[in-house]
């Protein structure tokens, strides 16, 4: 009896055809158990994602899944089809949080191939996909574009027609949706009195606290999202890799940095859009994450709600108050882990 | 004031009387929180245990507890009464999954002593128990036979009358119950199109991926099931033991190996019966689990549902594609962790 | 653009004004997910906090949050306001468990400053606060007094008028509330037949089992309660500290010791009051916790329910059967981690 060929070998560069849509396994029902675990793994303290009563006062339907959590769940589903043979995760763009995800909702994910470009070495290529997460009613809850460098199955395969999608550098304020009425915000319980008007463009915030990540923690988090990329789990296999050990899923860094950002951005807990994100350097177990933020721009969305466009920078084993970022040539400092650009809703002054 | 004698010293070989039933503490209500944790600790991705909508389409009442998870809960309850003074867990047989366990159900466990046999050394004996897990309505949800080698309290105690139960080498197909109607299986979301008819007897499947287990992970999982066997938790006490360190609960190996088996057995997510199981070698924190499967036999259960009898082999720090198993003398390779024989339901071709 | 001053610098000794009340962020809705995690992180097996059916039979409204779990949640909220600049956590007193916390309840916390006393060194002072945890209906669920040594912002600040609150050495039996009718206690499922009358004053119970704590475990637990004290999380920052590494939150020790105490106190699962607590020595990852208890006094609360006043002593890497405690001078043995004094309800003989 021959060996089975039923295991998934993943897709290679040649397999991605612009215009085609991949439907990803496995749909996942998100529960209060997921929310408790997300808090326990990241330190999430934003009041509207911690308290059902605060959530209602903040314009949400009740205790909901943090949008970053929803992002990780949708992202996790795409791994077996998109990035099993990826060399590098190159970037995100045009990420939009469209609807709250409530306990009991089931998330499914699909990705449309929107661009392909073979690299000059003939061995790899870049693939752009637009991924959508929908709930059990078929309503879109999140969408984003991601591009990855993927190995070719066969270097001799002809290069496909090059299609490079045009992507916005940031979601335009007019395209921000899903922000709530914020007129009855319970400031006494949120941890801060700071509102939209208190933040200035260019302001840099030192989030002070640090969080060290253990192997068990990132593995538990990454499995929570059903992300199965082997580099995060297989210590034995990783011995032969470039770093010789497990790499921590970049989403773990995003969520921990964002949780640290509570200290200074207490009322900006609701992410509306992900403009861009770069995993500058890998994080390994035992490293400590610190974070700082910069206010890039501001936008008034309604009478009660504004939006801050924020750069969130995570650094490794270094003082976040030093605001370490890039050198004069525009190259990221080697201590930078993450450079993340997003919009968050925040109540306006009354 | 003398010291209390209220702590549980566990049962010794002499305490097990054939025909007697032990009622185990502590009943446990299983919730969506348990399901989220089980996923996060094992990497479970079988669609019918991940999505409430998929579960309903797959003939289950909704999001349910994975049968292996229910097995670990029931098993965990038996430890203080059955195996506190055990020398070795020798085997399982005739395990049957009788009913789905839904969030909110409360599981209780009891064990009937069905066999005893003193060993020739006069210091230990083998005890066979049939364990049953019932829900809050008193319905049986799982039953299995387990046998363990247990220390005698006193080597001078006379040997009991030998009773060795007759056990089936596997649950007969006609005895498989609890399999659902599978006619509207959502293949697009399950991760694979492979059905009952696609698997051949003798086929070996390399599940490819590996998962490294940390001390924190197995401890959290084992406590989730309320299994308190001290060898899993007490690093200080284990220094004086044979291995000098904590042993990982064998159920952790079963569940992780079974989760890895998703890659190649995507539609065979529902376990119907446990035929046999041997923990061939111990797993320690830092080791990486890989798994492969072999199709032992097949059985048609209904127009829409078939069953695969599968051997699941977990190996440690070794290529699962090498299908490492036994030598010519029939002895397991030292890299084998687990040799597990079970039936799983799978949809038939339409 | 100057750096933001929006991060929380914490309060210093001068900031605490007797009579003032601090409202703490972040309100937290507690769910079945929290309960599952608490069990998985501590090993909690008390039947009334494990089974919804047992809970109802034991006089609770259903599956509830363990009172220690509720305590940690309320305590965690106070950290950013009370102990961010603390030198030491000095003690607890007059802790009362007033109402069950059910899944879906939202806990909020506030603290009234009830005492201040500058130390003779002029650099630090002691602050006493009475903390209250209330649910979403504004009902008090827990209250306790805690005192901490806190740094002065400026050693030159004048000393405040000294106010030292008068605190009971223990909650009087007449002040114990929240104990249930216990007449239909399901002894067969609780793990023990021992009732109120079986315990004698002065009786010492060896809880036998040990539990080793990993970095990931205490971090996950401490984040579950939204306690953000940096000493528990920031390995990089802690390198420059006295111990050179992360300290484990004392509440982790309390909960694990209390879970180990199941073995010998199976029917005394419901804590009614916290009389006192001292974290004698720090716990670090890799250490193993053992525990023993002493019955200090007893009180009849009703026809069906009694209360045991218990001393729970946690020791590190040492035999709990040696009942290690204090030397002749009344100084705690260096192996003692925790000296905890509380009241627990237990059914009376029928």
Instruction: Express as a percent the part of chain A with pLDDT over 70.
Output: 99
Sign of CA dihedral A305, A306, A311, A317: negative
What pLDDT shows up at residue A86? 85
Q: How does DSSP assign C162-186, residue by residue?
A: PB-----SS--GGG---PPP-TT--
Q: Is the pLDDT of residue A293 over 90?
A: yes
CA–chain centroid gap for A179, Å, is 19
Chain B contact for A326 (CB, 8 A cutoff): no
Q: Contact C179/C48 with Cβ under 8 angstroms? A: no
Q: Is the pLDDT of residue A89 over 90?
A: no
Neighbour count for residue A205 (Cβ, 10 Å): 25
pTM score: 0.97
Interface list for A 270-299 with C (CB within 8 A): 286-288
| Nearest C-alpha in B relative to C317 | B236
Which of A36, A210, A265 lies at the smallest CB-CB distance from C237?
Answer: A210
In which residue ranges of chain B is pLDDT below 50? none
Q: How far apart are CA C16 and CA A296, in angstroms?
A: 37
Q: How far is CA B262 from CA A7, B245, B307, B338, in A?
A: 9, 31, 16, 17
- For C218, the enclosing helix (H) or strand (E) is helix C215-224
Mean pLDDT for C233-242 is: 95
Distance from CA of B284 to the nearest CA of A (A): 13
Q: How far apart are CA B263 and CA B273, in angstroms?
A: 21
Q: How far apart are CA B25 and CA A187, in angstroms?
A: 46
Q: Which residue has the higher pLDDT, B76 or C4?
A: B76
Tell me if A209 and C230 make a contact (CB, 8 A cut-off): yes
pLDDT tens for residues C18-38? 999 999 999 999 999 999 999
Query: In whole numbers, what is the pLDDT of chain C averaged over residues?
Result: 96
Tell me if B7 and C264 make a contact (CB, 8 A cut-off): yes
Q: How far apart are CA C155 and CA C38, in angstroms?
A: 41
Number of residues that this document lists for chain A: 350
**Chain C residues touching B25 at Cβ < 8 A:** 45, 47, 189-192, 266
Q: What is the ipTM of this complex?
A: 0.97
Distance from CA of C247 to the nearest CA of A (A): 13
- For B54, the enclosing helix (H) or strand (E) is helix B52-57
Chain C contact for B156 (CB, 8 A cutoff): no
What pLDDT shows up at residue C281? 95
Chain B contact for A1 (CB, 8 A cutoff): yes
Tell me if B288 and A28 make a contact (CB, 8 A cut-off): no
pLDDT tens for residues A17-48? 999 999 999 999 999 999 999 999 999 999 99
Among C163, C132, C157, smallest CA distance to C146 is for C132
Instruction: Express as a percent the part of chain A with pLDDT over 90.
Output: 94
Q: Is the pLDDT of residue C15 over 90?
A: yes
Chain A contact for C27 (CB, 8 A cutoff): yes
| Nearest C-alpha in B relative to C262 | B7
| Nearest C-alpha in C relative to B27 | C51
Q: Contact B308/B196 with Cβ under 8 angstroms? A: yes
Q: How far apart are CA A25 and CA B267, in angstroms?
A: 11
Chain A contact for B174 (CB, 8 A cutoff): no
Give the HSE-up count for residue C143: Cα atoms under 13 Å, Cβ half-sphere.
15
pLDDT tens for residues C37-57? 999 999 999 999 999 999 999
E strands present in chain C:
21-29, 86-97, 106-118, 124-134, 140-151, 204-206, 211-212, 270-279, 288-300, 305-316, 336-347
| Nearest C-alpha in B relative to C62 | B29
**Chain C residues touching B36 at Cβ < 8 A:** 33, 36
Among A60, A15, A65, smallest CA distance to A42 is for A65
For residue C2, what pLDDT band results from cuts at 50, 70 and 90? low
- Please give the torsion angle defined by the CA atoms of residues B46, B50, B55 and B56, in that order, rounded to the nearest 10 degrees: -160
Neighbour count for residue B120 (Cβ, 10 Å): 7
Neighbour count for residue B184 (Cβ, 10 Å): 12
Q: Which chains form contacts with chain C, at 3 or more CB pairs under 8 Å?
A: A, B
Torsions phi, psi for B144 (to 5 deg): -160, 160
Among A317, A310, A229, smallest CA distance to A270 is for A310
Q: Is the pLDDT of residue C246 over 80?
A: yes
Q: Which chains form contacts with chain B, at 3 or more CB pairs under 8 Å?
A: A, C
Distance from CA of C84 to the nearest CA of B (A): 28
Number of residues that this document lists for chain B: 350
Number of residues that this document lists for chain C: 350
Chain C contact for A37 (CB, 8 A cutoff): yes
Q: How far is CA B95 from CA B72, B99, B164, C31, C72, in A?
A: 12, 13, 18, 33, 40
- Indicate which of B1, B3, B7 best probes the interface with C, i.e. most C CBs within 10 Å of its own CB: B7
Q: Is the pLDDT of residue A88 over 90?
A: no
Start-to-end Cα distance in chain A: 74
Tell me if A191 and C25 make a contact (CB, 8 A cut-off): yes
- Please give the torsion angle defined by the CA atoms of residues A249, A13, A238 and B232, in that order, rounded to the nearest 10 degrees: 60
For residue C109, what pLDDT band results from cuts at 50, 70 and 90? very high
What pLDDT shows up at residue C156? 94
Mean pLDDT for A5-25 is: 94
Q: How does DSSP assign A29-43, residue by residue?
A: E--HHHHHHHHHHH-
Which of B1, B37, B108 lies at the smallest CB-CB distance from C204?
Answer: B1
Sign of CA dihedral C133, C139, C142, C146: positive
If you count residue pairs, one on B and one on C, with CB atoms under 8 Å apart, how many are there? 152
Distance from CA of B195 to the nearest CA of C (A): 35
Tell me if C208 and B7 make a contact (CB, 8 A cut-off): yes
**Chain B residues touching A221 at Cβ < 8 A:** 40
Distance from CA of A179 to the nearest CA of B (A): 28
Rg for chain B, CA atoms, rounded: 20
Chain C contact for A321 (CB, 8 A cutoff): yes
Mean pLDDT for A199-215 is: 97
Which of C45, C207, C323 lies at the smallest CB-CB distance from B7?
Answer: C207
DSSP 8-state symbol, A101: B
pLDDT tens for residues A153-178? 999 999 999 999 999 999 999 999 99
Q: How far apart are CA C249 and CA C234, in angstroms?
A: 13
Q: How far apart are CA B81 and CA B10, in angstroms?
A: 6
Distance from CA of B278 to the nearest CA of A (A): 24
Q: How far apart are CA A64 and CA A32, in angstroms?
A: 9
Q: How far apart are CA B116 and CA B14, in angstroms?
A: 9
What pLDDT shows up at residue C8? 85
Distance from CA of A317 to the nearest CA of C (A): 6
Q: How far apart are CA A70 and CA C191, in angstroms?
A: 41
What pLDDT shows up at residue B18? 98
Among A63, A138, A72, smallest CA distance to A101 is for A63
Distance from CA of B53 to the nearest CA of C (A): 21
Chain C contact for B137 (CB, 8 A cutoff): no
| Nearest C-alpha in C relative to B9 | C208
């Amino acid at each position: 009896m021959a060996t089975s060929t039923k295991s998934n070998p993943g897709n290679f560069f040649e397999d991605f055809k612009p215009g085609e849509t991949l439907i990803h396994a496995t749909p996942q029902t998100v529960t209060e158990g997921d929310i408790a675990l997300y808090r326990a793994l990241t330190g999430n303290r934003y009041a509207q994602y911690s308290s059902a009563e605060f959530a209602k006062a903040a314009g949400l339907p009740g205790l909901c899944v943090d949008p970053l959590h929803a992002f990780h769940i949708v992202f996790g589903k795409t791994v077996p089809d998109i990035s099993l043979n990826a060399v590098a995760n190159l970037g995100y763009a045009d990420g939009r949080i469209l609807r709250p995800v409530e306990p009991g909702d089931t998330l499914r994910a699909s990705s449309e191939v929107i661009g392909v470009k073979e690299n000059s070495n003939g061995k790899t290529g870049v693939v752009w996909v637009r991924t959508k997460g929908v709930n059990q009613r078929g309503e879109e809850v999140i969408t984003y574009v991601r591009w990855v460098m993927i190995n070719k199955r066969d270097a001799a395969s002809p290069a496909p027609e090059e299609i490079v999608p045009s992507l916005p550098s940031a979601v335009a304020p007019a395209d921000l949706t899903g922000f709530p009425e914020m007129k009855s915000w319970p400031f006494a319980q949120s941890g801060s009195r700071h509102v939209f008007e208190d933040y200035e463009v260019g302001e840099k915030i030192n989030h002070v606290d640090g969080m060290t990540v253990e192997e068990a923690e990132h593995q538990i988090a990454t499995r929570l999202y059903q992300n199965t990329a082997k580099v995060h789990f297989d210590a034995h296999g990783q011995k032969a890799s470039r770093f010789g050990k497990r790499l921590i899923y970049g989403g773990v860094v995003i969520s921990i940095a964002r949780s640290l950002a509570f200290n200074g951005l207490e009322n900006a807990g609701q992410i509306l859009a992900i403009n861009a994100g770069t995993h500058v350097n890998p994080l390994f177990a035992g490293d400590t994450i610190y974070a700082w933020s910069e206010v890039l721009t501001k936008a008034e969305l309604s009478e009660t709600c504004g939006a801050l466009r924020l750069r969130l920078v995570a650094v490794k084993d270094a003082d976040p108050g030093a605001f370490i970022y890039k050198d004069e040539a525009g190259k990221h400092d080697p201590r930078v882990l993450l450079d993340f650009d997003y919009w968050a809703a925040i109540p306006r002054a009354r």
